[in-house]
Structure 1
Amino acid sequence: MKSRRFPLLLGLAAGLFATGASAAPDAAALARGEQVYARCAACHAIEANRTGPQHCGLFGRRAGTAPGYEDYSKAMRASTTVWDEKSLNVFLKDPMKVVPGTAMGYAGVKDDAERADLIAWLKQASRPGVECTVRP
């Protein structure tokens, strides 16, 4: 029976590899990402709207639509971006270039590794659940 499962498992693993699935980020990457997020905390929080919108529920949400946040720029409200790893990577590198007219007056996270760690941490921290409750 085990001999039949092995080829199946190999096939599943190959399929995941071919579709671009990747391993979960390591603890060190998440810790670095949390440190980078400290720069964002002047305006943002995971669970609450502040000067900037909350990040809880960020992944899969259209830009300019955080629950209960009303202070978006016209440019951000008009954006058709849906937040995922790719769109966040582009935006966080140079927010004002990607969304001209955004109220987010931050020059961006220029370092590729820092951005990757930040996005990995955000993906973990912004999932709705026990510690992340979307608040209107």
Structure 2
Amino acid sequence: MKHLMSMAIATLPLIGFSAAPVSASEIFEKIKIEAGQTLYDRSCRRCHAVDSTDSSYGPPLENILYRAAGIYEGYDYSIAMEASGIVWTPGAIRAWMEDNDGFMPGTKMRHVGIEDPTVQDFILAYLGSISPQDNKQISE
């Protein structure tokens, strides 16, 4: 946690301040997204690109929020993923990050679980920043 706070504080100069007033919640959200991108790059990027222009082992995660599981065209999903019927809500992604094998037995993906809820929050903030708002057709 101490490392996350240091990372968040180090991000402050990168945010940039404009003449318009910026609320503390807007600043915090920008910090969460920046920290989330760093954590994503460390934990998820080795297998998942952000978009389809960059090759990766797993499917790209751009527009992942509120997308149905197992539908990214051109990726060979496990039978478990294709048949799951889940939608990638923040809660589903959080459960997946923590224990994907427990969340969906039979999945092809293998990784070390991300159990820290703060790290999950930051990664979710980043994933939200790369998912358009019109994806949100259902609530969590």
Structure 2-normalised TM-score?
0.68
The corresponding residue for 2:35 is 32
Give ranges in structure 1 of 5+ residues lacking alignment: 1-22, 129-136
The corresponding residue for 2:45 is 41
Q: CA deviation at 1:127?
A: 2.9
2:50 & 2:132 partners in 1: Cα distance?
9
1:59 & 1:26 partners in 2: Cα distance?
17
Instruction: Find runs of 4+ consecutive structure 1 residues off by over 3 angstroms.
Output: none
One-letter identity of the residue aligned with 1:117: F
Q: Is the 8 A contact 1:91 1:98 kept in 2?
A: yes
In the alignment, structure 1 residue 65 sits paired with structure 2 residue 71: yes
2:32 & 2:122 partners in 1: Cα distance?
5
In the alignment, structure 1 residue 78 sits paired with structure 2 residue 48: no
Structure 1-normalised TM-score?
0.70
- Within the candidate set 110, 116, 127, 2:115 is matched to 110
One-letter identity of the residue aligned with 1:45: A
Deviation string, structure 1 residues 9-65 (Cα, Å, up to 9, x no partner): xxxxxxxxxxxxxx6652211111111101211110111262101112212211111
In the alignment, structure 1 residue 53 sits paired with structure 2 residue 56: no
Give ranges in structure 2 of 5+ residues lacking alignment: 1-24, 134-140
Larger C-alpha radius of gyration, 1 or 2? 1
Aligned length in residues:
105
